[in-house]
Amino acid sequence: MLGVSSVPATISPSAPLLPDGTRDVLPDEWSQREYVRWSLSELFRAWGYQGVELPALEYASAAHPLDSRAFKLIDTGGQVLALRSEFTTALGRLVATRYPAGPFPLRLQYGGQLWLRAQTSELGRLREFTQVGAELIGVATVQSDIELLALARAALDRVGVKADLEVGFPGFVDAVLEDAGLSGAARDALHDAIDRKSGADIDLAATTYGLSSEVTGVLHRLTDLYGGNEVLDEAGRMAQGTRARAAVSHLRAVAQGGDLTLLFDLGVSRRYGYYTGMTFRAYVDGLNQPVLGGGRYQLANGLPGAGFAMGLERLVRALPPGLPPHPETVLALDLPALHAAQQAGLRAELAWTDNRLELKTYSALRGIRRWVQGRELTEVQA
């Protein structure tokens, strides 16, 4: 109709159609995401990890690790709610209320969307994103850490993503700082500098807090603790106190007990107050953020837990060409043809008209090369 805009009257033509940090998922990517989701869910199930679903709405809490970055809203009763921003806290609530007596170990898998008001990411600074993951609750042993590393490797292999597994132990850095007599603001500043592997900031902190050249040298060596099993030898030489030696001993047992190729990054120090043991991440070429990350922690009720999450958006970017495999799509000219094509393993769309010219035009636009009528396949004639 003349004079009627195609943009709804309530929306300015110049206004963005989507909020910042959100995006549409189109059919090709949707297919890849579903392939990844299904493949990982089946793998986790085969390892004994049972699926759970968690509410997208939670009660807001200042104690939540991402409270300051969560989307919040007011319920009709006046309670402050938050959109789910990570899964571990919600899983801890579920375990405490639904499985207070176990049985432990409890193996759970999950998946779904997360929301953050501010999210820095190479993937367009997404504020709405999707994760899938697995958690092993109620045990804290070398064997359970090996299980999670082996499962993480199997998950990457299942979807064809080639990535290195990097293992850290934030408590090791903290123990070395403790052994060096550091505490308070100096210790916090050096945790940050070491995690960022910033030699300049280590030197600045050393000058600010009057550290000796010997201690400063030890801190610089921490940033270089990256590589294969030889890193554990160097870490063992640096370990002076009980905590540091226990961390190295645990990692040696993990390295020896699993038939896995691991890299160790013992300069990792982020969230050292949250993680209670091993951490691990997986990186692929071309992405500067991990496609997988996890570690060992303690739930609010004191239970030990460990697990990992995989970012669906990043995994899709890392998929090799040809995944998932796509069967040929044909155009069925009647219902018997549709069923015959599907039984033959083809994808089939049903013709909506008898107008052959219209069907040919559509087939060309969709890249459909063959039609089916009855059980006969025919090439689309130009």
15 pLDDT band, cuts 50/70/90, is low
- With a cut of 50, say whether residue 24 has pLDDT above it: yes
Confidence at residue 381, expressed as pLDDT on a 0 to 100 scale: 84
- With a cut of 60, say whether residue 4 has pLDDT above it: no
Helix/strand/coil percent split, the chain, to 5: 40, 20, 40
Q: Looking at the whole model, is its pTM more than 0.85?
A: yes
Q: Long-range CB contacts (< 8 A, 24+ apart) of 26-33?
A: 29/316, 31/324, 31/326, 32/316, 32/319, 32/323, 32/324, 33/130, 33/312, 33/316
Report the candidate in 311, 365, 286 with the shortest Cα–Cα distance to residue 156. 311
pLDDT > 90 fraction of the chain, expressed in percent and rounded: 78
Confidence at residue 3, expressed as pLDDT on a 0 to 100 scale: 43
Confidence at residue 1, expressed as pLDDT on a 0 to 100 scale: 39
* Average of per-residue pLDDT values in the chain: 91
3-state SS class at 323: coil
CB 33 within 8 A of CB 112: no
Confidence at residue 258, expressed as pLDDT on a 0 to 100 scale: 79
Element (H, E) at 372: strand 370-373
Sign of CA dihedral 190, 195, 199, 201: negative
pLDDT > 70 fraction of the chain, expressed in percent and rounded: 94
Domains of the chain with CATH codes: 17-160+285-326 (3.30.930.10), 164-283 (3.30.930.10), 329-379 (no CATH)
pLDDT tens readout for residues 322-337? 888 889 999 999 999 9
Token match 């697995």: residue? 134
pLDDT tens readout for residues 335-374? 999 999 999 999 999 999 999 999 999 999 999 999 999 9
CB 253 within 8 A of CB 268: no
Confidence at residue 10, expressed as pLDDT on a 0 to 100 scale: 56
pLDDT tens readout for residues 52-87? 999 999 999 999 989 999 999 999 999 999 999 999
pLDDT tens readout for residues 97-156? 999 999 999 999 999 999 999 765 544 578 999 999 999 999 999 999 999 999 999 999
Confidence at residue 104, expressed as pLDDT on a 0 to 100 scale: 96
Confidence at residue 14, expressed as pLDDT on a 0 to 100 scale: 62
Confidence at residue 132, expressed as pLDDT on a 0 to 100 scale: 98
Confidence at residue 120, expressed as pLDDT on a 0 to 100 scale: 59
- With a cut of 70, say whether residue 162 has pLDDT above it: yes
- With a cut of 80, say whether residue 7 has pLDDT above it: no
Confidence at residue 230, expressed as pLDDT on a 0 to 100 scale: 94
Name 62's Cβ contacts closer than 8 Å, sequence gap at least 6. Answer: none
State both tokens at 264: 């160790």
Higher local confidence (pLDDT), 161 or 271: 161
- With a cut of 70, say whether residue 8 has pLDDT above it: no
Q: Long-range CB contacts (< 8 A, 24+ apart) of 249-254?
A: 250/142, 250/145, 250/169, 250/277, 250/278, 251/167, 251/169, 251/278, 253/142, 254/142, 254/145, 254/146, 254/149, 254/167, 254/278
Report the candidate in 308, 382, 302, 314 with the shortest Cα–Cα distance to residue 29. 314
153 φ, ψ to 5°?
-65, -40
Report the candidate in 143, 170, 155, 153 with the shortest Cα–Cα distance to residue 265. 170
Report the candidate in 132, 151, 123, 156 with the shortest Cα–Cα distance to residue 48. 151
- With a cut of 80, say whether residue 288 has pLDDT above it: yes
In sequence order, what DSSP letters do the residues of 238-304 get, joined into one string? H--SHHHHHHHHHHHHHHHHS----EEETT--TTTTT--S-EEEEE-TT-SS-SEEEEEEE-TTS-E
Distance between CA atoms of 159 and 318, rounded to whole angstroms? 9
Distance between CA atoms of 229 and 131, rounded to whole angstroms? 31
